[in-house]
Every structure is written in structure tokens, then in C-alpha cells.
């Protein structure tokens, strides 16, 4: 719901690429995401930050979303 197209369809590929190559496109970098209005008259804008941690030697990912929508 919070990850609109086209990001939603690219999500698994981003993670697979990062785990395979270590090349970060979002993880540790962040990204501004624009979403549908969801009942509002203007687009929603978020700042997405994704961090990585290890749990029992396996990577886990944590996402933080901050609303940066400016009122019209």
C-alpha cells in the first residue's frame, strides 16, 4: 500500500541485486517516493530510508518512512 508502482514491482529485484552484488541503490542511501493521493487532492511524498542489520548472521532490512508532503 505504501510502495506504489513502479517501485512495488522492482522491490524484490533491488533486494536480490544487493544481496548478490552489494551494490546499494536504496539501502543506506534512501530515496524520495511519490505515492497516490489516497483520498487527498495532491500526491503524497515520502522519504524512504532502508537500513541493514544482521540477525544470526543473516541480513534483515528495516525501512523508515517520513512524510515530506507539503500542504498545497
Residue 36, domain CATH: 3.30.450.20
Extract the runs of DSSP E, i.e. beta strands, from the chain: 31-35, 44-55, 58-67
12: in domain: yes
Query: Is 69's pLDDT higher than 80?
Result: yes
47: in domain: yes
Q: How far are the Cα atoms of 36, 37, 39, 44, 65 from residue 51, in angstroms, in the given order?
A: 25, 27, 30, 22, 12
50: in domain: yes
Range of the domain at 31: 7-67
Total of domains in the chain:
1
The confidence band for 58, taking pLDDT boundaries of 50, 70 and 90, is very high
Higher per-residue pLDDT: 33 or 61: 61
53: in domain: yes
CB 62 within 8 A of CB 49: no
1: in domain: no
The pLDDT, as a whole number, for residue 41 is: 60
Mean pLDDT of the chain: 81
18: in domain: yes
Name the percent of the chain lying above pLDDT 70: 81
The pLDDT, as a whole number, for residue 21 is: 94
2: in domain: no
- CB burial of residue 50 (10 Å; 0-12, 13-18, 19+): buried
Amino acid at each position: 500500500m505504501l510502495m506504489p508502482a513502479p517501485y512495488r514491482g522492482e522491490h524484490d529485484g533491488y533486494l536480490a541485486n544487493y544481496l548478490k552484488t552489494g551494490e546499494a541503490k536504496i539501502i543506506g542511501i534512501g530515496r524520495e517516493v511519490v505515492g497516490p493521493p489516497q483520498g487527498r487532492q495532491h500526491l503524497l511524498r515520502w522519504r524512504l530510508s532502508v537500513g541493514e542489520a544482521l540477525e544470526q548472521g543473516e541480513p534483515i532490512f528495516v525501512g523508515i518512512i517520513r512524510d515530506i508532503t507539503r500542504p498545497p
